[in-house]
Structure 1
Amino acid sequence: MSFAMPDNLSAKLIKLLSPLLFLIASEVISAPVMQTAELDGQSRSWRLFLPDGIKEGVEYPLVFNFHGTGSTPEQITELNELESLAEQHKFIVVAPKAEFSYETGGRHTWNVEQLDSPYNDVAFIKGLFAHLAQHYPIDTARIYATGFSGGARMSSRLACDLADTFAAIAPIAGVRFADNCAPAKAMPVLTYHGTQDPVNHYQHQADSPRYWHEGVEPAIQDWVAFNGCENRTTSAIRPGVTKTVWSDCRDDVAVIFYRSEQAGHTWPGSPKADLLAKYGLGSTDDLPMSDIIWAFLKQYQRQ
């Protein structure tokens, strides 16, 4: 037996049905569903996944999974297979849908730069978190964010603006530290980037995208400086791949950076990595990045 909520279920109806839905979900698997609600004056949508075997009285971690520019919640799910990992380790996944674009008819992305727009994505995510926490058994101390490309930029933005909510982030191929970034607390950060990335350039270039204001290393160094990290260790973990760990940071957080000399714009270990390469986005590595991310995120919780 399986159960799936109808698409576009209103927030009011979710509230009325949530006690019944929780009892059903506690006994059977909940298939991923798209939901829509009015949040902060915006009609917004997201994909929600609840692992099988959720039990009444138990609270579960929540991971926000942000898709890249021009992509969808379904595609980021296929790219990083986070829902399969959530089924195995029992956490909830939400993949929000972007609506902002830089120009009329342009590809949808995240309003990371907080430009004047009907779509305020920080407010959307704040409202979405409150909405989900009201209706599902979420451990509000264990809220995390990851994402690819534009989704990595969005998870970085949230670490700046909602550090009281998010316990750790893992932006892949798009880590940022905004000019106006002022996190309320130290923030654990894990990131990966290939030096051959043709989209979000490892080093800032004259032809870098309009949103790409600095290279990868300056962004990471800003997180290291903000977190007050004192020690740095670098080790080779694959041919052409190094792992750098900044430790002894404020509040026992860490900053971890996987740097690939050969990789392009990719999610390592993804079953779709070869497809990205065919689109001219460069080669990949065999790192099990989604597993690495969860092992990192689950160490942290907000007090």
Structure 2
Amino acid sequence: MRLVPLLLAVLLLTAGTAALPAAAAPAPSCATGDPALLTGQLRSGGLVRRYEVHLPARRDPARPLPVLLAFHGRGEPPARLRGYTGFDAADAVVLYPEGRPTAGPQPTLAWEGTRDHPVDGVDVAFVRDLLAEVGRRVCTDPRRTVATGSSQGGGFTHTLACAAPGLLAAIAPVAGAFYRPEAGGVRECRSGPLRVVEIHGDADPVIAYTGTERSRPIPEWLAEWTARDGCGRPVDRPLPPDVTERRWAPCSRGGEVLHYLVRGGNHGWPGAPAPAVVGPGIRTTTISATAVILTFTGIPRSPA
């Protein structure tokens, strides 16, 4: 019998329980605006961009909350990501922004730093504008802004971290699409040390673990972050039957890199009731990507 509940309990006790170090952003400033005025759309860069927002039901309006940015995959409605991740249970302001329409006869939603939208600063500016708008309405702590996402949304967390140093305290991509510079991806990363957790299946049929002519190999991507964070040698910890946790430690100046390799894993969100993207491979329940991310970033669950 698979002891999934026991394994998850052990994971939550060990997967980066240290307090989230503050990003180089302004100190908390409690807003006086009306949260009800968060209408779910914002004009930025000449476009009207939509987003969904969730506030904890039992929050103290005077207590600064962390902000969790959750970016959907290519062509995926934000509501779908919201449904299978369960991030609404977090004691945080959770934002689900909508990507930019692609060109062509059948447009869909995508993010900057990809084949659809090469790096151009438009989506980065939108995120800055969105955080500023929310900060005018809700009491937030800008030093505890975390970005996560699935597939292209996961890849955008990397683009955002590289283009906006100090904006984020951590990134947590799942099945992240990290495109090569010649395929629209990041050419220069200006980020300093950062806390990073990445989750990926080595049988991912959409974003190959070993890379393609367009996407970067996950081990190569991780090696760059461990070098950027000044980390030591990795230590592996098996989580039977199909996951390996790899942690690099120690790292410098508050950085940390943690990786969960799902052996035979598909292009999905581990622990979700259904895969984020349909495709062959294992849909693991050995870990919950949502639980890993909340624990790693120090964001608790909201009081019931």
Bigger Cα displacement from structure 2, 164-173 vs 283-292: 283-292
Structure 2 equivalent of residue 67 of structure 1: 72
Q: For residue 96 of structure 1, what is the aligned residue in structure 2?
A: 97
Q: Structure 1 vs Structure 2: percent identity of aligned residues?
A: 25
Match of 2:205 among 178, 198, 208: 198
Structure 2 SS opposite 1:283: coil
State the SS of the aligned residue for 1:250. coil
CA contact (8 A) 1:112 1:121 kept: no
Q: Is the 2:197–2:296 contact (alpha carbons within 8 Å) kept by the matching residues of 1?
A: yes
Aligned to 2:223: 221
Name stretches of at least 5 consecutive residues in structure 2 with no aligned partner: 1-30, 180-184, 300-304
Q: Which has the higher contact order (CA 8 A, sep 6+)?
A: 2
2-side partners of 1:225 and 1:20: how far apart? 42
Q: Is the CA contact (8 Å cut-off) linking 2:33 and 2:137 kept in structure 1? A: no
Change (3 A) 1:44 1:281: farther
Matched, 1:115 2:122: no
Matched-pair contact (CA < 8 Å) for 1:196–1:264: yes
Residue 279 of structure 2 corresponds to 280
Partner amino acid, structure 2, of 1:21? D
Tell whether the 8 Å contact from 2:193 to 2:255 is kept in structure 1 after alignment: yes
Could you tell me how far apart the structure 2 residues matched to 1:192 and 1:123 are? Answer: 26
Q: Does structure 2 retain, via aligned residues, the 8 Å contact 1:228–1:250?
A: yes
Counterpart of 2:262 in structure 1 is 260
Deviates more, 1:65-74 or 1:230-239: 230-239
Partner of residue 50, structure 2: 45
1:140 alignment counterpart: 142
Secondary structure (helix, strand or coil) at the match of 2:79 reads helix
Relative to the length of structure 1, the TM-score reads 0.79
Tell me, in whole angstroms, the C-alpha distance in 1 between the residues paired with 2:186 and 2:60.
43
Note the alpha carbon deviations across 1:37-90, whole angstroms, 9 max, x for none: 212332111000001122132100000000000101101001211112x1xxx2
- Whether contact under 8 Å (1:176, 1:220) holds in the other structure is no
Q: TM-score, normalised by structure 2?
A: 0.79
Cα deviation, residue 176, structure 1: 3.2
Structure 2 CA distance for aligned equivalents of residues 77 and 256 of structure 1: 24
Three-state SS of the structure 2 residue aligned to 1:193 is strand
Q: 1:231 aligns with which of 226, 230, 233?
A: 233
Structure 1 133/198 Cα, relative in aligned 2: closer, same or farther at 3 Å? same
Change (3 A) 1:144 1:20: closer
> Does residue 290 of structure 1 match 2:290?
yes
Q: 2:128: which partner in 1?
A: 126
Query: Unaligned regions of 5+ residues in structure 1, if any?
Result: 1-17, 207-211
CA RMSD of aligned residues (A): 2.4
Which 4+ runs in 1 deviate beyond 6 A?
none
Corresponding residue of 1:21? 34
Does structure 1 conserve the Cα–Cα contact (< 8 Å) formed by 2:61 and 2:138?
A: no
Q: Deviations over 1:249-274 (max 9, x none)?
A: 1212210010011111010000123x
Deviations 1:165-193 (A, max 9, x none): 10001000016385423234211110111
CA distance in 1, matches of 2:206, 2:140: 35
Shift of 1:19: 4.7
Query: Distance between the aligned counterparts of 2:136 and 2:77, measured in 1?
Result: 25
Q: Give the Cα separation in 1 of the matches to 2:298 and 2:66.
A: 8
Count residues with an aligned counterpart: 261
